[in-house]
Amino acid sequence: MTFVSRLRNRESLVGTWVALSDPAIAEISAQLAFDAVMIDAEHSTNSIETVTAMARAVDAAAVEAETDPGTIVRLSENDPTEIKRTLDAGVDGVMAPMIDSAEDARNLVAATRYPPEGVRGVGYGRGTEYGEAFPEHLERANAETLALAQIETESGFENVEEIAAVDGLDGLFVGPADLSAALDLFGETDGDEFLEAVDRVLEAGHAVDKPVATLAFEEDEIERWVDRGFDFVLAGVDIDYLQRGGRRAKAAFEDAIDRS
């Protein structure tokens, strides 16, 4: 079963977040058998060329490691041209930031679907094996392409039930940093008021049997979000992995020096 099917079935899934602009990081993530690799094209320097190289690296590593991770791209904005170009790179789906309304969500879905279901243009790219697999691709793309909406603004939060109910939208994503900031609770992601807001997003998604995802860093945070009912947790970001690993290595060296 593909990642997209598993997510739509609301299986418990874990992914990783790639922000640094090196396809090797995406490749390593695929080798580690995460269920999905999220490539960040919003708060990063990742261009469409880098995104394409990362998607290729994930696919190649997955074959070698006998894993089957999904590849999702967090877009820089909910723009039909960016969505079209990103999907042409051969990824499994996209996640759009700053979804404020049901209309925004409908526009997102339409941009991921070929006519007559949507407005996605037909073009050459990795997703169609550079045109060699057009018929097969067009036959399955509308049903198999993932569209996720980030709930991270005050408007998006207030309209979350209507957003979740949009036909063709596959799920919701809570952006903890932006949503807490939008609700004037920045950084208070373990506080009661923010957790109540999280519960509302979870209830909105689950009421229409759609998965809800989020991002976590520390082990206790991962556990909290799993216990809260999130279906899909992105368990850390490459930058954070590097920082934490570096700090641990440096601390181990300093401890060894102190003991010598």
* Residues annotated as part of the active site: 43
SS3 letters across 210-232:
CCEEEEECCHHHHHHHHHHCCCE
Partners of 147 in the beta sheet? 94
Rounded distance, CA 196 to CA 157, Å? 12
Measured N-to-C along each axis, helices 219-228 and 192-207 cross at an angle, to the nearest 10 degrees, of: 50
C-alpha 257/C-alpha 35 separation (Å) is 40
Q: Are 145 and 71 in contact (CB under 8 A)?
A: no
The distance between the two most distant Cα atoms of the chain, rounded to a whole number of Å, is 72
Q: Which residue has the tokens 């590593």?
A: 61
